[in-house]
Amino acid sequence: MTHAIDVDNTRNGGVHPDEEPLLVVENLTVSFPTDDGEVRAVRGVSYQVAAGEAMGIVGESGSGKSVSSMAVMGLLPKTARISGSVRFRGQEILGQDEKGYAKLRGKKIAMIFQDPLTSLNPVYSVGFQIAEAVLAHNDISKDKAKARAIELLATVGIPFPEQRVDSYPHELSGGMRQRIVIAIAMANNPDVIIADEPTTALDVTVQAQVLEALEAARAETGAALILITHDLGVIAGHAERICVMYAGKLVETGSTDEVFYRPRMPYTLGLLGSLPRMDQSDKQRLTPIKGAPPSLLNLPPGCPFTPRCPIAEPVCDTEEPALLPVDNAAHAAACHFRSRTSGAEAADLFGPDAKLVSDTSGSTATEVPAS
């Protein structure tokens, strides 16, 4: 059941050189027609996930992170217009019919959703719903499936699994329900588990339990993990690589260490700067990013972060920066001025004593002498 993949915990990031990427997403674009026009939720996202690795996708609400994963699973509504390419083990999986997707889902790629209170069907027992996942892809007896369900309940840390297996979802707490969803996701040893904001709807104390269950699932199945969240703390503890998403596009990618300690794109800097830190004096104010994410309807040309970016210049209004490498091949940022942000910290850009700002007259950024 468990294949011998070594889960890389050393966080050196990047793709193992001698393994072909398991999942390749190339130039994925998703848009929705609405009353007021076309909403371009995902605008050309590309990433790769290697077998066994844990990749995080970070972004605010509305950045398109959930939509891009639903596109991979084929779970978007029929009104969505999708283009681009998603390849699993070299085979294109985008644009199949429901039957085609059904062969993949649960067996090769599994998904965990955000709201555990509504994810489970209220009229079937928890054990039934897990066994169902197993029976969908394996020709075994119902008893064996139930036994497997009990096993899985134990793996994700549900106490007294033999009794719990016959409970109904409404008899369990939110944290337990989410662990059941994780059990369902891992039931058939998928190659990729996509976890879409698995802890967002839960209390902090319960979050740890759920994340533990997620790690246990990974350990047992050896699956790669795509962890989507807006919580940087969750990402830091559980992902080797990070992609930062903003307004439907990736704006920075790299290993967790690189992105956390050496961020280059101003948005990433701002995100990290807005986190309260244990090692800073608690008299220091947080530096938030002013403003709000742009509307994805009629998005103007240029970099979408421009209205909120302290080092924005006229070129940012007209030309959208591409995701290009900085420092090393594995770390990339989408900013025209990524060279200038080398070594910068959030306070340098967003704080009241910001050193790196652009002149409003449009000339090149200068260093303001510290007063």
Interface residue with other proteins, options 5, 7, 14, 32 (CB under 8 A): 32
Give CA–CA dist 244/223, Å, rounded.
Answer: 22
Query: Considering the complex, what minimum distance in angstroms separates the CB of residue 98 from other proteins?
Result: 5
For helices 142-155 and 174-186, give the axis angle rounded to 10 degrees: 120
Q: How far is the CB of 303 from other proteins (least distance, A)?
A: 11
Residues 157, 23, 183, CA angle at the centre, nearest 5°?
15
What does the DSSP 8-state code read for residue 209?
Answer: H
For CA atoms 307, 312, 315, 320, the dihedral sign is: negative
**Which residues, numbered 119-148, are part of the site for other proteins (CB under 8 A)?**
119-123, 132-133, 136-137
Q: Does 105 bind other proteins (CB under 8 A)?
A: yes
Count of residues binding other proteins (CB under 8 A)? 64
Contact flag: residue 279 with other proteins (CB under 8 A): no
Contact predicate 236/54, CB 8 Å: no
Look at residues 174, 160, 163, 182 and name the one whose alpha carbon lies nearest to residue 125.
163
Sign, CA dihedral 192-197-202-204, equals: positive
The contact mask relative to other proteins for 292-331 (x = CB under 8 A, - = no) is x-xx-xx-x-----xxxxxxx----x--------------
Nearest-approach distance from CB 298 to other proteins, in angstroms: 4
Check if the beta carbon of residue 247 is closer than 8 Å to that of residue 63.
yes
Judged by CB under 8 A, the residue of 27, 34, 173, 280 near other proteins is 34
Residues of this chain that bind other proteins (CB under 8 A): 32-36, 39, 73, 75, 77-79, 98-99, 101-107, 110-111, 113, 115, 118-123, 132-133, 136-137, 168, 170-171, 181, 184, 188, 290-292, 294-295, 297-298, 300, 306-312, 317, 349-350, 352, 354, 357-358, 360, 368
